[in-house]
Structure 1
Amino acid sequence: LDNLLPGDMVLADRGFTISDSVGIRSARLVTPAFTKGKPQLSAFQVERTRRVADVRIHVERVIGLLRNKFRILKHTLPVEMLTADENGATVLDKTFVCAALVNLCDFLVPFG
């Protein structure tokens, strides 16, 4: 959350209780709508939830690609990796580099 900038949107599943933390940074939490206590969603909520799901598919594809391409991201990381290594790099730095390399791929989201 420390890396959020004003205007950022955070996609999350239902039940995430981070809207206050996200809001403090002038960002917005986006979750799928749900019918709790209502018979059905409004047309607007259905469309918004569909659009969130469309984006989520691509996010999950990229996460899967990251995990498949880079061994460091395949498994749960040991707690020792949370501190900086001998070069001063943190796991966040390493993940950032992995994500940047994946972003250079031209096949992430097909156009058309």
Structure 2
Amino acid sequence: MKTVLVIEDNLAIRENTVELLELLGFQVASAPDGPTGLQLIQEIRPDSILCDILMPGMDGYAVLRELRSQRYDQTASFYFMSAQAEMSDRQKGIALGATGYLIKPFTEKELLACFN
């Protein structure tokens, strides 16, 4: 069973995404912010990470930069999930090393496509 970590500051979006992933058969953990997410990455070693971009304190770009540093395992796939739908936003995420970019709101099919 694949483990997914959801890092999202919006409680409703976080809970809905976690519930949907669990229904799809994934083991899921969640974090309300970047620092907590980075701590969980070290603890649970997820297979995939879904991370919001616009979060207070540490944004998703900073989370990815830190994750890709030498202090962390770099094997987890990393997907940004954001309402920022401009091509330049997606290109920035991919340039930083993200595996993909999921635009909110997303469908179950779009979410599941991240794991195929």
Q: TM-score, normalised by structure 2?
A: 0.28
Higher Cα Rg, which structure:
1
Higher helix share: 1
Higher-RCO chain (CA-CA 8 Å, sequence separation at least 6): 2
